[in-house]
Structure 1
Amino acid sequence: MVASFAVNFLLDIEPRLSNGISDIDILQLEIVSDKEGQTGDVRDVLAIRSLQKWEIGISAKNNHRAVKHSRLSNDIDFGQKWLGFPCSVEYFKEVKPVFDNLAKLRTASKATQKWDTLGDYHTSVYVPILDAFKKELLRLDAENLGTVAERLIEYLIGNQDFYKVIKGSNKVEIQAYNLHGTLNLPFENVKPKAKVPKLKLPSRLIEVVYQENSKTTLLVTLNEGWQISFRIHNASSRIEPSLKFDINLVSAPHSLFTNQLFIG
């Protein structure tokens, strides 16, 4: 039922799915490798018509709205990897002692020591890393005005337009991330049955603050209605010299196209 709803709805708003130029204009379906997600392409499935030089992508999620799970460590340059601008020497000077200490603890315990033995590690580990991350993100934005905000959203949300299908416990939601205007195109004189507006990418970073009463989560607010939360956490119960972000879209522009089906 879920798949049927999603397919039928997409057929209504993407005429090229069911309309070809000729008999040899074949619709191909392709699974996207996980490696693509590391470079900002979050799509799981592609529908392609090579003759029309056209494709759309779908990201399928089961009951969660996380947009990314990126890592930080003493040798991960998030600026270069996410935004195309390298992190500063100062950033690595701030995070290296924290991660180096974690590496020593892991080695000394032969990878058996657990995080809870550190006491208040939210204060001793998470806060210094988040402070350094916050400072560096603001620096990168200040030095590359008008570029970092846009690239951050493209890295986190996706650098290719796509439909996101989210299956919940009693509903299915389809969101259209039409950032570059490649979704919802007509086929000759066949028009989509609903209009999917183009989303505006942000051009500036407004603020980076801690979520209220939190030592684990930063809220990054950008213009055009975008807000992202970055919750840092340890991916394993055992100490390791890296941390993981659970990154979620808190708010998107009001023009984000959304359709829901309640399935009981």
Structure 2
Amino acid sequence: MSEESNNRGRAYEFICLKTLAEEIKKIRSVEIEENSSFFAAEKAWNLIDGELQNILKLSAQTAVIALFDFEPLIAEKDNDTLTLLIQPDSKGEAGDVRDILIIRSGIKWEIGLSIKHNHFAVKHSRLSRTIDFGQKWYKDKCSDEYWQAVNPIFDYLDECKKSGMLWREMEEKDSKVYVPLLNAFEAEIKNAYLKDKNLPRKLVEYLLGEYDFYKVISVDSQQMTQLQTYNMHGTLNKTAKKQKPKKIVPISTFPTKIVAFDFKTGSSNTLEMYLDNGWQFSFRIHNASTKVESSLKFDIQIIGMPASIITINSYWL
């Protein structure tokens, strides 16, 4: 992700947090925890121009209106103070994809929001000679066969990097890098699945995190905010003392089987994984910079999900 995209993402987190606070304080007591992540987001907000600020304000207001329909505990009048905070990026690396937390300590309740600006990617995980993706993704070390297959690829990338080669200058990158690396990755996943039938669930928990959340996506070109519900553990959409949610969020079912996992038709840099219970993911591998690096990055997208994950498209007023 470029520095500009990163700043815009943080700026969107900031205005979503501030908009939440402004709307909530009309009803009940609310406070923002001003931690280091808050100040980083505030700085990013001040770096973007006024036109984009106005766009993101509209998007955030639309998101908050949609969220209130699902979560009456946010607006419930009570004596406790509701706390809002932005989580550090390190939480995502540890399995918590929620950027913003909404907390009521008086009733030991919290929900989280994953905030995205103009992109739908789930993860941007890397593969390299020092990253044991098996241990990181599903707590099982990669096999010797995997390392034997990928180390020559990373040797080649190291040589290209030392020479200062640009990625566009590399000849036959598909056959020398993309295809053999993805073949090794695919084989490792399939072998791990043979040993552990809980692997489909572990993969989804790695990709989507270990906590339920709402995903908020600003799609500026369409003047639309998308809200998606990921209620895997049944912690979202709770009833308040005097009010039920206006919209119901079903509990989604984890996958239990890998149905198919292979290259996308006509592609040499993208794998597609089809699981049961409606889950589908794509794994596109790419170089993350202009110059050749000794690691490659995934752009992992959800290309199919259960009907129990509700998607609300709200267009800006």
Please tell me the TM-score bracket, short chain as reference. Answer: over 0.9
Percentage identity across paired residues of the two chains: 45
Aligned to 2:99: 44
- Of 206, 210, 216, which residue of structure 1 is paired with 2:269? 216
1:18-52 CA distance string (max 9 Å, x none):
125x42x1100010111111122111100001121
Aligned to 1:131: 183
1:188 CA displacement: 2.5
| Counterpart check, 1:61 vs 2:112 | no
Aligned to 2:13: none
CA-based RMSD of the aligned residues comes to 1.3
1:130 CA displacement: 0.1
| Counterpart check, 1:188 vs 2:241 | yes
Q: What CA distance in whole angstroms lies between the structure 1 residues aligned with 2:188 and 2:243?
A: 48
Aligned to 2:199: 148
Q: Does the 8 A contact of 2:62 with 2:316 survive in 1?
A: no
| Counterpart check, 1:249 vs 2:249 | no
Q: What CA distance in whole angstroms lies between the structure 2 residues aligned with 1:117 and 1:3?
A: 42
TM-score by length of 2: 0.79
Q: Does the 8 A contact of 1:225 with 1:252 survive in 2?
A: yes
Deviates more, 1:222-231 or 1:9-18: 9-18
Aligned to 2:65: 8
Provide structure 1 residue ranges, at least 5 long, that are not aligned to the other structure: none
1:68 CA displacement: 0.5
1:164-210 CA distance string (max 9 Å, x none):
11111221111010011000011224211110001111111111110
1:238 CA displacement: 1.1
Aligned to 2:75: 18
Provide structure 2 residue ranges, at least 5 long, that are not aligned to the other structure: 1-57
Q: What CA distance in whole angstroms lies between the structure 2 residues aligned with 1:192 and 1:99?
A: 52
- Of 107, 119, 128, which residue of structure 2 is paired with 1:73? 128
1:156 CA displacement: 0.8
Count, aligned residues: 258
Q: What CA distance in whole angstroms lies between the structure 2 residues aligned with 1:236 and 1:11?
A: 40
Aligned to 1:102: 157
Q: Does the 8 A contact of 1:39 with 1:155 survive in 2?
A: no
Q: What CA distance in whole angstroms lies between the structure 1 residues aligned with 2:136 and 2:209?
A: 14
1:154 CA displacement: 1.1
The one of the two structures with greater contact order (alpha-carbon pairs below 8 A, sep at least 6) is 1
**The structure with more helix, counted as a fraction of residues:** 2
2:302 aligned partner, one-letter code = L
SS at match of 2:102: strand
2:216 aligned partner, one-letter code = V
